[in-house]
């Protein structure tokens, strides 16, 4: 493969992507381009990233083809063809409507929503069962955070006063 050189601005932008981006695929593409810019061979870069040489060449080709686009867009994943995830969309719609409301309002005996409860509600509303992964994906895409509720009350240790600084004289 011919030499691959980047402009200094593009190099700085790719380094920023490697440090700050949360998408692993974008980080790998940016890292590959930086390593190629540093003079590493395609097969070395491919081995380090655990991909084929053909994949690295495709990343370089796509980077060069999108010369007019910003660097960030050049390393992003392209649009995927295929059928849109209808189940995910249905789950998102139902979750958006009910997330901020009390689950007891819908006949559940709990104070917080759980994935199984949301699955049940989605089934009641749409007539189809959504998988646990689909519900979790919908929650993540809506940027909601959730934890599994604790079912057992926490107990204090016998030495909890020492941990808090001892007895308070008063």
Does residue 141 contact residue 92 with C-beta atoms inside 8 Å? yes
Query: pTM, whole model, 2 decimals?
Result: 0.51
User: Which residues neighbour 148 within 8 Å (Cβ) at sequence distance 6 or greater?
Assistant: 114
Task: Quickly list H helices, the chain.
Answer: 8-20, 24-37, 42-49, 53-65, 71-75, 86-98, 115-126, 132-141, 160-163
Alpha carbon dihedral 79, 83, 84, 88, in 10-degree steps, equals -130
| 111-159 tens-digit pLDDT | 889 999 999 999 999 999 999 999 999 999 999 877 766 666 667 777 7
* Owner of token pair 């994906």: 137
Q: What are φ and ψ of residue 45, in 5° steps? A: -65, -45
Q: Are residues 68 and 91 in the same domain?
A: no
Does residue 47 contact residue 34 with C-beta atoms inside 8 Å? no
Number of domains in the chain: 2
pLDDT at position 37: 93
Does residue 95 contact residue 135 with C-beta atoms inside 8 Å? yes
166 found inside a domain: no
Q: Please give the residue range of the domain that contains residue 93.
A: 86-141
Tell me which of 5-9, 45-49, 88-92 is least confident: 5-9
Q: Are residues 70 and 12 in the same domain?
A: yes
In order of 17, 30, 31, the CA distances from 12 in angstroms are 9, 11, 12
DSSP tag of 3: -
63 found inside a domain: yes
41 found inside a domain: yes
């Amino acid at each position: 493969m011919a030499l691959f050189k980047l402009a200094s601005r593009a190099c700085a932008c790719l380094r920023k992507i490697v440090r700050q981006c949360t998408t692993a695929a974008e980080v790998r593409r940016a890292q590959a381009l930086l390593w190629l810019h540093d003079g590493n061979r395609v097969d070395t870069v491919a081995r380090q990233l655990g991909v084929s040489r053909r994949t690295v060449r495709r990343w370089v080709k796509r980077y060069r083809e999108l010369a007019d686009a910003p660097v960030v867009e050049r390393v992003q994943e392209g649009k995927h063809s295929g059928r849109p995830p209808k189940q995910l969309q249905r789950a998102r719609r139902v979750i958006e409507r009910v997330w901020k409301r009390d689950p007891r309002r819908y006949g559940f005996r709990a104070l917080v929503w759980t994935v199984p409860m949301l699955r049940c509600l989605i089934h009641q509303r749409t007539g189809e069962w959504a998988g646990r992964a689909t519900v979790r994906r919908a929650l993540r895409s809506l940027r909601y955070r959730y934890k599994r509720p604790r079912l057992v009350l926490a107990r204090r240790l016998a030495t909890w006063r020492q941990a808090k600084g001892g007895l308070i004289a008063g």
